[in-house]
Structure formats: structure tokens, C-alpha cells
Amino acid sequence: MSQTSLETSPALSALESTTTTMQITNSSGVSVVVLDASSNPPSPTQQLFDQTLSWLTTADLLNTIPPRTTKTIPLPAAQLDDNGLPIDLTLILADAQTLAPLKVVDLPALNPAPATELTEADLTASKQAQEFVKTITAFPSSSLVTDYLKALDDPDPTALPAFFAATTDFKQVSLELVVAFQTYFNRFPFYLTGYTTARSFYLYSSDGTTNRYAGSVVLQNQSTAPSSVPNAIEGLEAMYVTTNGADYIPLSYVDGQFVDDPNSASPDYCLRGLFMLRSDLTKKPEDNQLIPILFGTVNGQVVFGYDVKQEKSPVAQLAATATPGIFKDLDVLVHPSNTQEWLKLIGLIAGGVLGIVGIGVGGYFLNKYLKRAPKLTPEQIQAKNQEIRELNRQRLQATLDKIHTELKVPDDIWAAIEHNKEAGNNLLLEANQERIKDMLLEQHSIVNTLQDLAHDTMLSRVNDNLSRLDDLMLKTEALDLGNQMNDIMTDLTWNTAKLADVYRQVGKALQKGEQTYIEKSQKAISDITTALEENEKMRQDILEDEIPEIPEIEG
């Protein structure tokens, strides 16, 4: 547009008369910064943190707004888009230490900027939004996700707020905060360190036969506050460390991924952060924390990164239960064939997660777009929505291609959710079958030991002691024998019950041999019970200074 047309534009004249400052009150207990996240022209694929940001200072030239203070912020100059329409202003109030979003403020063009307050309630909403993003990333096939996507698809503008209000833990969440955190995670990797000074992720790969350690990624925060120009990651260093720990390769963080070459379409090292429930990896119910992991490729190997280094189990400990040379703590690393399939599933999940991100970003942009074009028909809105989603899918697919071109951001998110759910259930069934086999072997070993102890040791000791009761010390030992046998029977009873429970987990009728095995354990318990009764009788005889009859006890 020419300078002459700008000078005569009614929109520009209106903009020139609009308030150019804004008063912000920080009623919270944290220092905040104000980021200009407006885009010109408005982009359907790059919103909030996914664009060039400007750091706005206060009128008295402070970079931050301290807790419980009010400051005036000079706003950026008014702009028009290519169609001569005024561009709305979008501000992010962010944590001064991490740049994590605390509140998103949309300022419609041609309107005076109203005073804004950041409250403790806003901080609660921010925390809930971050947890929501982590949760839908960790459980992308859950009913929470499907209900969220249905609300995004609903043309009723009250559907999404009603969805959040009906949840238990995310009542104060809004779409702009969800998109703010999704794009924040895509821009800055501070969340992968847990907002601490350092964290390492240990990488593992599998060829279906052997699981291998594949090096590590080390993240270090060198400063406690980001730069005053938040478009480059300053203060955070990322490096890949080789398997021998002797060499390292610097990594850059681009579009949510660590890469060795930010300009390459197929980098040798490409790793993306995801969230998972720790117990999904360890199979320990008490591990109920959502944790970040890394997923990607290292020199063509598909890997995942976990924040605890795994040690190889000694062969002697594994001989009865699994192939030697595997890792002992993470359940997903116990069986290499399952590990390989699990890595494939994580690739599907990564594509699904990005699909959900794209739909959220597109929905946020569509809401802003409709404010600028309010006269569209429902059919036009639907067509615009599909166009925006496809643009986001293509952009995110280009990002995922850097990990592996076989990974896909789905064009049909509903079909992908069902497919991933089925794939996950099948893998879980296979993994459970392997786990049950291991449990059976372990329980067989325990029960065998206890049976041997009951039959071959304890009963023989009873007979030996009873035959030598003229020795006072042996009388004392015989008195204690009942307690020892009680302990053995308690262990054997518990482990036999556990073994039976393990069989029930298989979900099929017990085979004859397995039932016989349990009956053998129950027979051992019965024998010990009989021996205990005899032992109690002998104990009473000893206390009365009588030499008891030595019973015949079957071994």
C-alpha cells in the first residue's frame, strides 16, 4: 500500500487516535515481563510464542514489572495488514525467569487499551493450563482429549469454556493459555529441565533383539533469567554426549526439537520432547508423575530418552527370566522385541500429539479471524477451519519429517486416535504376556524354594530334633521350631496365593499342569500344618518334662 493511501486511510486515522500506553498491575508474587506476540500479517500457523517476539519495557525503562506494583507500558506503533485492516495487538504476560506464559491479553485494534491486572488466580490458571497440555500429551487417546477436540469443533462459542469448567483439575483453563503453553514448549526447552539448572536424558534404542545405550543429552541453564530479546535461547546449553562419554555434539532447539544442524531438512540428531506417565515406563503404580522424555533419531537409530540412567543386569540374575544383556529397571527395556514395538508406538503418539497441537493453534487463530470477518456463513467458517488445520498439519509434518519421514501428523485425528489406542492396547497385551511369563518364572522359583525348604529341610529337622530330645538344648530348639515353621508356611502361603493370582491375570483357564503346580504348593502347606499340630503337642509334652512319641512324618 502506498504512503499516500496510508495517510488517507480512515483505519490509520482511527489508530492514530487510539491510546498508545497501557497500565498493568501485577498483583501476584512473581516478577513478570510483557511480550508483544502480534504478527503482521496474522499467521494461521504461527501464534503467540511461534513468532518473532518483542520485549516491551515500562515507561520508566524497566524490563520487568515487580510483584505488587503497577506500571505503564508504551505500546508498539499501530500497524495495518495487506488489506488495510488494523492488526489486533496480542500481549503475553510471562514469568520473568522462564518466560512461561501467565496471561494472554488480546487488544482489539481501534479500541483504547484497558488497564490489565495479573492476579494469583491468573497464576493458578497458568499452572492448570500447563498441566492440561502435559496431560493431553501423555494421554493423547484419552476421553479428555476427545472431549476437548469435540468442544473445539463445536460452533457454539460456549462449548469450550463449558468443557474446561466441567473438568476436575482444569476449570480455569482457556484456549489461549493452552496454545500459549503448546507454542512455549515449541519455542523454549526450559520445561525439559523441570525449570531447574540441569537435566540429563539417557538414550536407548532397540533392533528387536538387543537394547542398547545410545548416548545422552545434557541440558544446562547457565543463567537465571532469559535475554531481553527472547528470540534466541540464551543461557541454556544442549549437547549430545557419545556412549563412551568422551565426545559431545552441540545441539540447537528449533521448532520443539533438538538438532545438530538447524538448517538441515534431515539432521543426524533430532530429538523431540514428550510427556509420559512414569509408571508407563516402570510399571510401578507409585510412579504416578508426568515426566518429560525425549524421542527421535540419533544417526538413524530410533531412540527415547529417560532421566535415569539404566544399568545392565548381571547375567546370573537374568538367566531364569530373560535374555542376558538387557536393562533391569525400566519395564519397557526388559524385552527388546517389545521395546522396538514400543518405540514405533511413540512415533505414532508423537504424530498424534502434533496433530492435537495444530488443531488447537488453528482454533485459536480461527477465533481471532472471525472477529475480523464476522459475516461468514457456517459453511464458510467450516471451510476456513479445514484450511487452517491443513496448513498447520503441513507445517508440523515438515518438522516431524526431520525425525523420520515415515512419521505422520494425521489428517484425520479421530481415526489416528482410534488407531493409536488399538496399537497401544495390543502392545500392552503383548508386554503383559511377557511380564506374566516373567512373574510366573519368578514365582515358580520362589515356591520351589519354599517347597524344598518345607519338605526336605524343615520336616527332616523335626524328626532329627525329636529323636534327640534328651539334650536340653535340643529341647529348646524344638520349642522354637514351631515359630520357624510358621514363618515358612506364611511365606509359602503368600507366594502360592500370589502365583494363583498371576495365573488369573492371564485371563484364560489354567492349564492342567499349572493347576497341578498350585495344588502341589497347597499340599506342602497342608503337610506343614500337620507338622505344626504335631509340634505343638510335642511342645506341651516338653514343657511337662515328658519325652513325646516321635511321629512318622511323610517327607
Span 42-65, mean pLDDT?
Answer: 85
- For residue range 118-150, what is the model confidence (pLDDT) as tens digits? 999 999 999 999 999 999 888 888 888 889 999
The pTM is what?
A: 0.72
- The residue with cell 525348604 is 453
The percent of residues above 70 in pLDDT, for the chain, comes to 63
Least confident of 135-139, 316-320, 354-358: 316-320
- The per-residue pLDDT for 482 is 56
pLDDT band of residue 433 (cuts 50, 70, 90) is low
- For residue range 374-402, what is the model confidence (pLDDT) as tens digits? 688 888 888 888 898 889 888 988 988 89
- The per-residue pLDDT for 555 is 44
pLDDT band of residue 529 (cuts 50, 70, 90) is low
Span 523-550, mean pLDDT?
Answer: 60
> Which of the two residues, 455 and 194, has the higher pLDDT score?
194
- For residue range 443-500, what is the model confidence (pLDDT) as tens digits? 555 555 555 555 555 555 555 554 544 444 444 454 555 555 565 556 556 555 555 5
- The per-residue pLDDT for 535 is 63
- The per-residue pLDDT for 129 is 95
- For residue range 321-343, what is the model confidence (pLDDT) as tens digits? 444 344 556 666 666 667 777 78
- The per-residue pLDDT for 2 is 31
**Long-range contacts of 532-536, Cβ-Cβ distance < 8 Å, separation of 24 or more:** 532/482, 532/485, 532/486, 532/489, 534/462, 535/462, 535/478, 535/481, 535/482, 535/485, 536/482
Compute, in degrees rounded to 10, the torsion defined by CA atoms 134, 135, 141, 145: -100
Mean pLDDT of the chain: 75
- For residue range 491-503, what is the model confidence (pLDDT) as tens digits? 556 555 555 555 5
- The per-residue pLDDT for 33 is 93
- Does residue 217 register a pLDDT over 70? yes
- Does residue 193 register a pLDDT over 80? yes
- The per-residue pLDDT for 40 is 66
> Which of the two residues, 426 and 348, has the higher pLDDT score?
348
Please tell me the distance from the alpha carbon of residue 91 to that of residue 49, in angstroms, as a whole number: 11
> Which of the two residues, 206 and 534, has the higher pLDDT score?
206
Least confident of 120-129, 238-247, 251-260, 518-527: 518-527
Q: What separation in angstroms does the CA of 420 have from each of 20, 141, 246, 443?
A: 50, 7, 39, 33
**21-26: strand order across its sheet:** 69-74, 21-26, 116-118
- Does residue 531 register a pLDDT over 50? yes
**Helix (H/G/I), strand (E/B), else coil: 75:** coil
- Does residue 259 register a pLDDT over 90? yes
Span 82-87, mean pLDDT?
Answer: 73
Span 44-53, mean pLDDT?
Answer: 82
55 is written with which cell numbers? Answer: 520485549
Span 495-523, mean pLDDT?
Answer: 54
Alpha-helical regions (H) of 453-511 = 459-466, 472-505
Query: Is-contact 217 294, C-beta < 8 A?
Result: yes
- The per-residue pLDDT for 80 is 74
The percent of residues above 90 in pLDDT, for the chain, comes to 21
pLDDT band of residue 554 (cuts 50, 70, 90) is very low
> Which of the two residues, 64 and 310, has the higher pLDDT score?
64
**Helix (H/G/I), strand (E/B), else coil: 553:** coil
- Does residue 298 register a pLDDT over 60? yes
Span 148-169, mean pLDDT?
Answer: 91
Q: What separation in angstroms does the CA of 92 have from each of 45, 281, 476?
A: 18, 36, 80
- The residue with cell 500500500 is 1
Alpha-helical regions (H) of 119-228 = 120-138, 143-153, 159-166, 175-187
Q: What separation in angstroms does the CA of 7 have from each of 1, 11, 416?
A: 10, 10, 52
